[in-house]
Structure 1
Amino acid sequence: MITASAWLLVTGLHCCVWSDPNRRYPGRLGTERPPRSNQRNAKGRDLGPNYDDIEVCINSRLRATRGRRPRERFVTAPGGRTRMANEEARARILQAAGPILAAKGYQGATIREICEASGVNVAAVNYHFRNKRTLYVASLGLALELTAIRAPFPRWSPEEPAEVRLKECVYTLVERMAELNDVAWQTRLILRECLTPTGIRSDEIARFVQLPMDVLLPILEELLPGDSLQSKRIWLGYSIFSQCMFAKIAFALFPQQHGDPPSSDEVAQRITDLSLAAISRFNQE
């Protein structure tokens, strides 16, 4: 029969074994030993999991994953919808944000309604764009890029008459500002930024205006030569650009005065005729 003192002695020794820092935390003293599934005492009795080996495994896993690129994240749409990949989620957010920003502006639009329209949660917007400003930058940049792709300036041969080039250049600008059903938000967002600038992408908006001027001014220089007429060519170029931007908007605002809205070719022809008439007047002075 085991006496109380003997029992205390055995228990104390057992506790000393478990509290041994070299046994429990071998990494602290720089000693390593082969991993074992369970600890056993001198008689072979199972003492349970070897917490030393568990800690060694955890530390080795942390060292192996340190500096590794995190896994690709996914976002889950509300309502139990299936998961979507990152690029798909980003595209859906941009498709929903463009029309809302074009209709309500940067100040009026909210992240919550963009999330509802795109079918993603707020965390997805924060993950891809961080905040509303970055989302607006991406939306406006997409509108400018798609507008330039949709209506690129033609490539002319050197023998092409200046009048023909002017007409085609005007037609391209009218097409860029066309209120088509599938790209109407792009035109409205660009015009909103031009009329009430936020200053967020002022450089790109300036390039959007400067590029047509770089195409128009060489044509106007052929039609209106002379160094003394440079200021008139610049004013005429801005006048043509403004007419192309707002002509179809004016027809849309006052349909009762014009009946059916004219086509892009008709608008371009009218603007070209007025411009050529002004050029002829300047040449007679």
Structure 2
Amino acid sequence: MGTPADSEKARSRLEEAAREVFAEHGYQGATVREICRRAGQNPSSINYHFGTKEDLYRKILRQVGPPEDAPPVALIEEASPRQRLRAFIAYFLAETLGGEEQPWKARVMAHEFAAPTPLLDELVQGAIRPHFEMLHATVAELLGVAGDRTAPIDQLVTDHAFGVVSQVVFYRHSRPVVERVARRRYGATDMERLADHIARAVLAAIAADRRRVAACTRQRRAEAEEVAG
């Protein structure tokens, strides 16, 4: 009978092997047999240590996604909306470009996006949505429409929030092409520069829409006053 230390080593080997296999084949293509073979464990070990293949994948997927606690800097209440936006972008870039030593994460997510499993809903609800809601609220403040959840305004805020995300995600999913076109590697040393660049572009777009929204609001008020008068 193994010791607790032996059990922990076996569990660690299984997790490491699972990362490799899920990164190569995705959830559907990965097999318990192959994970156990690479880990040097018998086929029943996943059931013993994790429960099921799905339970093991859930654990790996949680390691891939953002942590369920929000970015500390972005939660500082006294920070301005601009500071919170910049902090969010920097945090997200760090998650994207700072994980060069763990390329398996991007491959696992690529498989998950191509063939979503039911566990993607758990990841979105537990980790991704809270971050997005924080970003959404920050963008709403910058647009001057905080608290306005009417459909057109909410969609505008959502579009800008996804615009932030898309500019960062681009460097993760298009990185091989980006580096070949730019003829240089992108990594942790680029994060501050890219965070500033993305923040400037986003703030300029938001400022333009803020002026447009304000003008429309003034026009609606004037029309309402004219009708009332």
TM-score by length of 2: 0.75
Partner residue of 1:213?
132
Distance 2:95 2:13 in 1: 24
Q: CA deviation at 1:216?
A: 0.9
Match of residue 95 from structure 2:
176
Tell me which protein shows more helix as a share of its residues. 2
Percent identity, please: 25
> Residue 258 of structure 1 corresponds to which residue in structure 2?
182
> Does the CA-based 8 Å contact 1:111-1:132 persist in structure 2?
yes
1:63-102 mapped onto 2 (5 Å cutoff): 74=2, 85-102=6-23
Cα displacement string for residues 114-153 of structure 1 (whole angstroms, at most 9, x for unaligned residues): 2232221212223223442232222213333xx4289944
Deviation string for 1:39-86 (max 9, x for gaps)? xxxxxxxxxxxxxxxxxxxxxxxxxxxxxxxxxx549xxxxxxx9632
1:105 corresponds to which of 23, 26, 33: 26
Is the alpha carbon distance of 1:156 and 1:199 closer, same or farther for their aligned partners in structure 2, counting shifts above 3 Å?
closer
Please identify, of 133-142 and 215-224, the stretch whose mean Cα deviation from structure 2 is larger.
133-142
Against the structure 1 CA distance between its residues 208 and 158, is the aligned structure 2 distance closer, same or farther, given a 3 Å change threshold?
closer
Please tell me whether the aligned partners of residues 135 and 161 of structure 2 are also in contact (alpha carbons under 8 angstroms).
yes
Pairing partner for 1:231 from 155, 162, 169 = 155
Is residue 124 of structure 1 aligned with residue 51 of structure 2? no
- Offset at residue 231 of structure 1 (A): 2.0
SS at match of 1:182: coil
| Separation in structure 2 between the aligned mates of residue 151 and residue 265 of structure 1, nearest angstrom | 20
Q: Deviations over 1:138-176 (max 9, x none)?
A: 2213333xx428994425544423222211111111222
Higher relative contact order (CA 8 A, sep 6+): 2
Q: CA RMSD in A?
A: 2.8
Match of 2:194 among 267, 278, 281: 267
Q: TM-score, normalised by structure 1?
A: 0.62
User: Match of 2:165?
Assistant: 241
User: For 2:56, which of 129, 135, 147 is the aligned residue?
Assistant: 135
Change (3 A) 1:110 1:225: same
- What secondary structure does 1:213 align onto? helix
> Which residue does 2:111 correspond to in 1?
192
- Distance in 2 (CA, whole Å) between partners of 1:205 and 1:98 is 20
Q: Deviations over 1:76-128 (max 9, x none)?
A: xxxxxxx9632321122112201220221012222232223222121222322
Q: 1:205 to 1:191 in 2, by over 3 A?
A: farther
- 1:160 match: secondary structure: coil
The alignment covers a number of residue pairs equal to: 204
Q: Distance in 2 between matches of 1:165 and 1:259?
A: 32
**What code does the residue aligned with 2:129 have?**
Q
Aligned partners of 1:99 and 1:185 also within 8 Å: yes
Gaps of 5+ in 1: 1-72, 76-82
Q: Which has the larger radius of gyration?
A: 1
SS at match of 1:86: helix
